[in-house]
Amino acid sequence: MPEQTIAQPQLRLLIVEDSEDDAMLLLQRFRSAGYTVQYQRVDNDPDMRDALQSSAWDAVLSDHRMPSFDANAALTLMQSLNCDLPFIIVSGVIDEETAIAAMRAGAHDYLSKDKLDRLVPAVERELREASNRAERRTAQEAVRDSEARYRTIATNLPGMVFQLRLDKDQPVLTYASEGCTLLLDLDPEQVCADASLFTRMIEADDRARLEAALLRSRRDDSTVNWDGRIRFASGEIKWINMRAALRHDAAGERLWEGIMSNVTHSKRTEAELRDSREQLRELQLHLERVREEERERIARDIHDVLGGNLVAIKIEASLLEAKLESDPQALRARVRSIAQLTDDAISTSGRVARELRPGILKEFGLPAAVECQAEDFSQRTGLPCHCVEMDYDAQVTEDASIAMFRVFQEALTNIAKHARASYIEVSMSREGGTLLLRIRDDGRGIEPGDLNKPKSFGLRGMRERMASLGGSAQIGPCAEGGTEIVLRTPLLQETASESSH
């Protein structure tokens, strides 16, 4: 097999020497050691400056004293050009004091031309040191770039970047970015020097929650997400949000690092939204009460006035029929027809009055009103609606009773229109301090998408009406087919107490 040729290591040397023979002597040492050497010899300032600026070198070997140049001037020139190269003085005559001064000035080694055995090892050692210095410079530059990027990001974040630790279970800020001034109206140095400046600003109950969140994070090794209020000397209150991740430093101490931001605007918006919703809920309740009062008035007028007039008409028709002679059959038939129409009108006015405001709801309560409505519905539509289990002792507020009854009416109407059902089952029971009204049918069922259709006002109205009273309306398919509607509303306190025993 042909022998493999091993590539010789390359070495680029800048030799500061006025003697070509002495330069060749140095080169021979490296070539004997197996190096392929590229070199340039210079013996004055301009030539050396040009060589350093135009080419890349691995090391500089310099004679100590030459007619127009010396090692000290060569070293100063190399340093002025920021060239970090091994600089080794190789001289025939140099005293120890001069050599030590050159080393202090930045030379890496000095050798005598009579003892060149150390030349190659010295250059190899300094090449390794130069490589290590270059790696350290690269790493330091990377760290500086990273710190500069971090400072730029931290400065421009809409908040304060921070680091904190726990000292006797109390939060202590160990770092705060420039955003501290805008967020806390304190200098970062101030808040890090005196931990109490920050903790005293936090409202007492919020401070307790922060300490609990940090202890929980330390126990579970989890992140922190805390909202709290800080109070300034002027009395102004600001909401801040703290998000931080837990890590361990080199000594094993737990540190939290994250960002604090001003969330006052969003908190005020949330509060305004809650207030707006509460006002809408109160308005809805007021409108429902006004509507129910109007229905009650209309129902009373229908029942008392119209119903009374219809009864009077029926009595008059009966008296008229009794006075007619027996022969005119047509007149008697007409009178009986009037009486039948009057009976139908009385029945219809009674049903309308009950639907507007069922008196049974006020007199006998929700369970009885539901049963009565179910019976009326069955008679009117021919669709069986059975109440299989009714809790007659459960009591709810009048508003909740009316709302649940109206939703029950709406549910029956929806079933009659859309369900294609042949049977409806109704039950009422207590569960966990709430009253449950369950309505099931065996119809075609309901799909999840049906609940979110833009024009599903009936289903949406059920949920909103129950929610406005602290209850709920759950609508979904039954396991055995059909649809189930479950209405929930809070029981009165005494009824809830009974159900818990």
- Whether 77 contacts 49, CB under 8 Å: yes
Q: Is 145 exposed, middle or buried (0-12, 13-18, 19+ CB in 10 A)?
A: exposed
Instruction: Count Cβ atoms below 10 Å from residue 301 Cβ, excluding itself.
Output: 13
Rounded to an integer, what distance in angstroms lies between the CA atom of residue 138 and that of residue 136? 5
Rounded to an integer, what distance in angstroms lies between the CA atom of residue 127 and that of residue 36? 16
What's the confidence (pLDDT) of residue 386? 93
Do 285 and 373 lie in one domain? The reply is no
Do 126 and 162 lie in one domain? The reply is no
pLDDT digits (tens, 9 = 90+) for 45-88: 999 999 999 999 999 999 988 888 999 999 999 999 988 899 99
- b/e map of 308-347 (b: 16 or more CB within 10 Å)? eebeebbeebeeeeeeeeeeeeeeeeebeebbeebeebbe
Residues of the chain with pLDDT under 70: 1-7, 150-157, 283, 286, 290, 294-295, 297-307, 309, 320-321, 323-328, 330-332, 334, 350-358, 451-457, 494-501
Rounded to an integer, what distance in angstroms lies between the CA atom of residue 492 and that of residue 430? 11
Q: Which of 327, 357, 387 is the last residue in one of the domains?
A: 357
Radius of gyration for the chain, computed over Cα atoms and rounded to the nearest angstrom: 49
Q: Which amino acid is at 489?
A: T
Do 22 and 108 lie in one domain? The reply is yes
Q: What is the pTM of this model?
A: 0.43
Do 383 and 473 lie in one domain? The reply is yes
- Which domain covers residue 392, as residue numbers? 361-501
What's the confidence (pLDDT) of residue 116? 87
Q: Which of 357, 379, 410 is the last residue in one of the domains?
A: 357
Do 432 and 492 lie in one domain? The reply is yes
Q: Count the alpha carbons within 13 Å of 446 in the hemisphere toward its beta carbon.
A: 22
Please name the residue that has the structure tokens 């013996």: 43
Instruction: Count Cβ atoms below 10 Å from residue 391 Cβ, excluding itself.
Output: 17
User: Total domain count for the chain?
Assistant: 4
Helix axes 329-356, 366-381, angle to 10 degrees: 140
Do 217 and 161 lie in one domain? The reply is yes
Mean pLDDT, all residues of the chain: 84
**What CATH number does the domain containing 30 carry?**
3.40.50.2300
**What CATH number does the domain containing 454 carry?**
3.30.565.10
DSSP 418: I
Q: Which amino acid is at 183?
A: L
Q: How many helices (H) and strands (E) does the chain have?
A: 17, 15
What's the confidence (pLDDT) of residue 297? 67
Residues 6+ away with beta carbon under 8 Å from 238: 183, 229, 230, 232, 262, 264
Do 48 and 127 lie in one domain? The reply is yes
Instruction: Count Cβ atoms below 10 Å from residue 51 Cβ, excluding itself.
Output: 17
Rounded to an integer, what distance in angstroms lies between the CA atom of residue 258 and that of residue 160? 8
Is residue 60 situated within a structural domain? Answer: yes
Which residue, 349, 470, 464, is CA-closest to 407?
A: 464
Beta strands in 319-460 (DSSP E): 385-389, 424-431, 434-441
Residue 358 three-state SS: coil
Is residue 149 situated within a structural domain? Answer: no
Is residue 65 situated within a structural domain? Answer: yes
Rounded to an integer, what distance in angstroms lies between the CA atom of residue 213 and that of residue 209? 6
β partners of residue 12: 38
Is residue 3 situated within a structural domain? Answer: no
Q: Which of 81, 101, 136 is the last residue in one of the domains?
A: 136
Do 489 and 369 lie in one domain? The reply is yes
Do 231 and 188 lie in one domain? The reply is yes
Do 24 and 103 lie in one domain? The reply is yes
